[in-house]
Protein backbone atom coordinates (compact mmCIF):
# COMPACT_ATOMS: atom_id res chain seq x y z
CA UNK A 1 0.00 0.00 0.00
CA UNK A 2 1.18 3.50 -0.74
CA UNK A 3 2.19 5.50 2.30
CA UNK A 4 -0.38 8.14 3.24
CA UNK A 5 0.32 11.70 2.20
CA UNK A 6 -1.73 14.87 2.44
CA UNK A 7 -5.46 14.17 2.22
CA UNK A 8 -7.22 14.97 -1.04
CA UNK A 9 -10.93 15.80 -1.40
CA UNK A 10 -12.99 13.13 -3.08
CA UNK A 11 -14.25 13.59 -6.60
CA UNK A 12 -17.79 12.62 -7.62
CA UNK A 13 -16.24 9.58 -9.41
CA UNK A 14 -14.49 8.56 -6.17
CA UNK A 15 -17.71 8.85 -4.23
CA UNK A 16 -19.71 6.84 -6.77
CA UNK A 17 -17.11 4.05 -6.69
CA UNK A 18 -17.16 3.92 -2.88
CA UNK A 19 -20.89 4.19 -2.08
CA UNK A 20 -21.42 0.43 -1.77
CA UNK A 21 -20.21 -1.66 1.19
CA UNK A 22 -19.05 -4.30 -1.28
CA UNK A 23 -16.50 -1.82 -2.64
CA UNK A 24 -14.86 -1.48 0.78
CA UNK A 25 -14.85 -5.25 1.32
CA UNK A 26 -13.18 -5.73 -2.08
CA UNK A 27 -10.55 -3.13 -1.23
CA UNK A 28 -9.84 -4.80 2.11
CA UNK A 29 -9.34 -8.22 0.52
CA UNK A 30 -7.21 -6.86 -2.33
CA UNK A 31 -4.93 -4.89 -0.04
CA UNK A 32 -2.64 -7.78 0.91
CA UNK A 33 -2.90 -9.90 -2.22
CA UNK A 34 -4.34 -9.81 -5.71
CA UNK A 35 -7.73 -11.45 -6.15
CA UNK A 36 -9.65 -12.27 -9.32
CA UNK A 37 -13.28 -11.39 -9.88
CA UNK A 38 -14.28 -15.05 -9.45
CA UNK A 39 -12.28 -15.43 -6.22
CA UNK A 40 -13.82 -12.27 -4.80
CA UNK A 41 -17.34 -13.32 -5.79
CA UNK A 42 -16.91 -16.69 -4.08
CA UNK A 43 -15.36 -15.19 -0.95
CA UNK A 44 -18.01 -12.48 -0.60
CA UNK A 45 -20.96 -14.65 -1.63
CA UNK A 46 -22.18 -12.50 -4.51
CA UNK A 47 -22.78 -13.10 -8.19
CA UNK A 48 -19.67 -12.58 -10.35
CA UNK A 49 -21.53 -10.06 -12.54
CA UNK A 50 -22.48 -7.97 -9.50
CA UNK A 51 -18.94 -8.08 -8.25
CA UNK A 52 -17.44 -7.23 -11.64
CA UNK A 53 -19.47 -4.01 -11.73
CA UNK A 54 -17.94 -2.93 -8.40
CA UNK A 55 -14.44 -4.03 -9.47
CA UNK A 56 -14.68 -2.02 -12.68
CA UNK A 57 -15.86 1.10 -10.82
CA UNK A 58 -12.98 0.77 -8.33
CA UNK A 59 -10.48 0.15 -11.13
CA UNK A 60 -11.73 3.13 -13.16
CA UNK A 61 -11.46 5.40 -10.09
CA UNK A 62 -7.90 4.22 -9.36
CA UNK A 63 -8.67 2.33 -6.15
CA UNK A 64 -7.79 -1.01 -7.77
CA UNK A 65 -5.18 -1.84 -10.38
CA UNK A 66 -5.26 -4.89 -12.55
CA UNK A 67 -2.25 -7.15 -12.63
CA UNK A 68 -1.22 -9.15 -15.71
CA UNK A 69 -3.65 -11.93 -16.64
CA UNK A 70 -2.79 -15.39 -15.35
CA UNK A 71 -4.05 -18.89 -15.94
CA UNK A 72 -6.35 -20.16 -13.23
CA UNK A 73 -6.57 -23.67 -11.80
CA UNK A 74 -8.99 -24.75 -14.55
CA UNK A 75 -6.81 -23.30 -17.33
CA UNK A 76 -8.94 -20.22 -18.01
CA UNK A 77 -7.29 -16.80 -18.15
CA UNK A 78 -8.21 -14.50 -15.29
CA UNK A 79 -7.25 -11.00 -14.24
CA UNK A 80 -6.24 -10.38 -10.62
CA UNK A 81 -6.75 -7.00 -8.93
CA UNK A 82 -4.85 -5.31 -6.12
CA UNK A 83 -5.86 -2.30 -4.00
CA UNK A 84 -3.77 0.83 -4.53
CA UNK A 85 -4.27 2.28 -1.03
CA UNK A 86 -5.64 5.56 -2.43
CA UNK A 87 -8.54 5.54 0.03
CA UNK A 88 -6.02 6.38 2.78
CA UNK A 89 -5.51 9.79 1.21
CA UNK A 90 -9.15 10.73 0.70
CA UNK A 91 -11.00 13.36 2.67
CA UNK A 92 -14.69 12.57 2.36
CA UNK A 93 -15.91 16.13 2.39
CA UNK A 94 -19.56 16.98 3.13
CA UNK A 95 -19.11 20.33 1.33
CA UNK A 96 -19.17 18.32 -1.90
CA UNK A 97 -22.08 16.11 -2.89
CA UNK A 98 -23.65 15.43 0.53
CA UNK A 99 -25.81 12.58 -0.80
CA UNK A 100 -22.80 10.69 -2.18
CA UNK A 101 -20.65 11.52 0.87
CA UNK A 102 -23.33 10.13 3.18
CA UNK A 103 -23.54 7.02 0.99
CA UNK A 104 -19.79 6.45 1.34
CA UNK A 105 -19.97 6.93 5.11
CA UNK A 106 -22.79 4.35 5.38
CA UNK A 107 -20.92 1.96 3.10
CA UNK A 108 -17.80 2.18 5.29
CA UNK A 109 -19.82 1.42 8.41
CA UNK A 110 -21.69 -1.47 6.76
CA UNK A 111 -18.42 -2.95 5.48
CA UNK A 112 -16.92 -2.67 8.97
CA UNK A 113 -19.95 -4.42 10.48
CA UNK A 114 -19.64 -7.18 7.86
CA UNK A 115 -15.99 -7.57 8.78
CA UNK A 116 -16.87 -7.89 12.47
CA UNK A 117 -19.52 -10.49 11.63
CA UNK A 118 -16.97 -12.51 9.64
CA UNK A 119 -14.54 -12.49 12.58
CA UNK A 120 -14.13 -15.24 15.12
CA UNK A 121 -16.34 -14.31 18.11
CA UNK A 122 -13.35 -14.93 20.39
CA UNK A 123 -11.04 -12.63 18.40
CA UNK A 124 -9.55 -9.69 20.25
CA UNK A 125 -11.65 -6.55 19.89
CA UNK A 126 -11.48 -3.09 21.38
CA UNK A 127 -14.57 -0.93 21.01
CA UNK A 128 -14.95 2.57 22.34
CA UNK A 129 -17.65 5.15 21.90
CA UNK A 130 -17.54 8.66 23.27
CA UNK A 131 -19.75 11.69 23.06
CA UNK A 132 -17.81 14.88 23.73
CA UNK A 133 -18.47 18.61 23.75
CA UNK A 134 -15.63 20.22 21.80
CA UNK A 135 -15.14 23.63 20.28
CA UNK A 136 -14.11 23.78 16.62
CA UNK A 137 -10.41 24.01 17.41
CA UNK A 138 -10.47 20.97 19.71
CA UNK A 139 -12.54 19.00 17.18
CA UNK A 140 -10.05 19.78 14.41
CA UNK A 141 -7.17 18.77 16.70
CA UNK A 142 -8.88 15.49 17.61
CA UNK A 143 -9.39 14.62 13.93
CA UNK A 144 -5.83 15.62 13.00
CA UNK A 145 -4.32 13.59 15.84
CA UNK A 146 -6.44 10.53 14.96
CA UNK A 147 -5.34 10.84 11.31
CA UNK A 148 -1.70 11.19 12.37
CA UNK A 149 -1.93 8.16 14.65
CA UNK A 150 -3.47 5.99 11.96
CA UNK A 151 -0.91 7.22 9.42
CA UNK A 152 1.90 6.42 11.85
CA UNK A 153 0.72 2.87 12.36
CA UNK A 154 0.02 2.41 8.62
CA UNK A 155 3.66 3.30 7.99
CA UNK A 156 4.69 0.66 10.54
CA UNK A 157 2.58 -2.09 8.95
CA UNK A 158 4.45 -5.18 7.85
CA UNK A 159 3.40 -7.98 5.47
CA UNK A 160 3.69 -10.55 8.26
CA UNK A 161 1.81 -8.38 10.79
CA UNK A 162 -1.59 -9.30 12.20
CA UNK A 163 -4.46 -7.74 10.18
CA UNK A 164 -6.46 -5.22 12.21
CA UNK A 165 -9.58 -3.32 11.11
CA UNK A 166 -10.10 0.17 12.49
CA UNK A 167 -13.05 2.50 12.01
CA UNK A 168 -12.77 6.10 13.21
CA UNK A 169 -15.66 8.48 12.75
CA UNK A 170 -16.42 11.84 14.27
CA UNK A 171 -19.87 13.24 13.67
CA UNK A 172 -21.39 16.53 14.80
CA UNK A 173 -24.48 15.68 16.82
CA UNK A 174 -27.62 17.76 17.15
CA UNK A 175 -28.13 19.22 20.62
CA UNK A 176 -31.29 17.22 21.24
CA UNK A 177 -29.81 13.83 20.31
CA UNK A 178 -29.46 11.30 23.08
CA UNK A 179 -26.31 9.30 23.67
Confidence of residue 59 (pLDDT cuts 50, 70, 90): very high
| 40-58 tens-digit pLDDT | 999 999 999 999 999 999 9
Let me know if residue 18 belongs to a domain.
Answer: yes
- What percent of the chain lies above the pLDDT cut of 70? 86
71 has pLDDT over 80: yes
Percent helix, percent strand, percent coil in the chain, to nearest 5? 45, 10, 45
Let me know if residue 137 belongs to a domain.
Answer: no
pLDDT of residue 129: 81
Let me know if residue 60 belongs to a domain.
Answer: yes
Q: Are 44 and 26 in contact (CB under 8 A)?
A: yes
The closest alpha carbon to 79, from 71, 87, 90, belongs to 71
pLDDT of residue 91: 72
Mean predicted confidence (pLDDT) in 109-135: 82
111 has pLDDT over 90: no
What rounded mean pLDDT belongs to the chain? 83
Mean predicted confidence (pLDDT) in 3-32: 81
Let me know if residue 149 belongs to a domain.
Answer: no
Supply the range of the domain harboring residue 117. Answer: 8-128
Let me know if residue 139 belongs to a domain.
Answer: no
- Looking at per-residue pLDDT, the higher value among 101 and 132 belongs to 132
Let me know if residue 179 belongs to a domain.
Answer: no
Count of domains in the chain?
1
Least confident of 47-61, 94-108, 144-158, 160-174: 94-108
The CATH number of whichever domain residue 93 belongs to comes to 1.10.10.10
Round to whole Å and give the CA distance between 46 and 41. Answer: 5
pLDDT of residue 107: 81
Amino acid sequence: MDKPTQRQPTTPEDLRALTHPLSWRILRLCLDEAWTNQQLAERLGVAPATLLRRVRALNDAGFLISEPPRQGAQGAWERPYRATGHTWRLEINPQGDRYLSAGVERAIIEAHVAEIQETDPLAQQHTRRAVLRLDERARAELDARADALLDEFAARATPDGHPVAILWSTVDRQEDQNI
